[in-house]
Amino acid sequence: MTRWLSADEQRTWRNFLAATQLIDEALDRQLQRDAGMPHTYYMILVALSEAPGRSMRMSELASRAQSSQSRLSHAVARLEERGWVRRERCPSDRRGNVAVLTGEGFRALAEAAPGHVEQVRRSLFDALTPEQVRALDEICVAVRRAHGNGES
């Protein structure tokens, strides 16, 4: 039996979709304008910058970026063209590949980060009270746990 959404749930769902779309579009516009990269590329660079040795298996990077392997491979190819990432064979498994953040890629990320953080503040946190920020964090953690993706 289908568990239809109540009127309150339907309104909340639609507001959630609209809000996340507005935030995603604002972040993408800002990064394209100020750093010449889409938000997806920025998130890949961030993940690599936080990884040990600034490198990560492509499969793990795809998971972290919430992307398919083929989509991530395409994005990494574009990042390679810019000199921001390079691919290497995985030393422990010669069949696998590792994406490595280059010095040039780290500099591009460092230059893009201040504008990105300011846009995140404008797009989300400036509109919320400290209590709402805590509630939003709790909500996000609960949703991630429901999907087996725990707290970060």
Domain housing 35 = 19-146
Q: Check pLDDT > 70 for residue 14.
A: yes
Domain presence at residue 50: yes
Domain presence at residue 7: no
Q: What is the CATH number of the domain that holds 138?
A: 1.10.10.10
First to last CA, the chain: 35
pLDDT score, position 92 = 77
Domain presence at residue 56: yes
pLDDT score, position 4 = 95
pTM over 0.85: yes
DSSP, collapsed to helix, strand or coil, labels residue 51 as: coil
Domain presence at residue 42: yes
> Percentage of the chain with pLDDT > 70?
98
Count how many domains the chain has.
Answer: 1
Beta bridge partners of 57: 98
For 18-77, the pLDDT digits (tens) are: 999 999 999 999 999 999 999 999 999 999 999 999 999 999 999 888 888 899 999 999
Domain presence at residue 84: yes
Domain presence at residue 8: no
